[in-house]
């Protein structure tokens, strides 16, 4: 049972045409960059709002401390 083995290359595996099942990476990368940029803008906007809130709370606490001293 020592039959010679014959190995054939399957030419269909190594074609230069892109597969339709694979996503287009440049298109997905561009979408990802846009989403991340939008997210960064939202985070920055929220951070600015939170900074204002913290300043307002600090001012209220200072006013309360001054009124307690009187």
Q: Which band of pLDDT confidence, cut at 50, 70 and 90, is reported for residue 25?
A: confident
Task: Please tell me the pTM assigned to this model.
Answer: 0.51
Helix, strand, coil percent content, the chain, rounded in steps of 5: 65, 0, 35
Convert the pLDDT of each residue in 26-54 to its tens digit. 889 999 999 999 999 999 999 999 999 99
Question: Which carries the bigger pLDDT value, residue 11 or residue 55?
Answer: 55
Residue with tokens 């009187």: 70
- Distance set, CA 33 to CA 19, 37, 50, 52 (Å): 24, 6, 25, 29
- The pLDDT value given to residue 26: 80
Residue ranges per structural domain of the chain: 26-69
């Amino acid at each position: 049972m020592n039959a010679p083995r014959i190995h054939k290359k399957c030419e269909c595996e190594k074609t230069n045409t892109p597969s339709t099942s694979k996503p287009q990476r440049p298109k997905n990368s561009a979408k990802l960059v846009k989403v991340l940029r939008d997210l960064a803008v939202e985070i920055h906007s929220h951070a600015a709002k939170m900074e204002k809130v913290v300043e307002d709370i600090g001012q209220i606490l200072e006013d309360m401390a001054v009124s307690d001293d009187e």
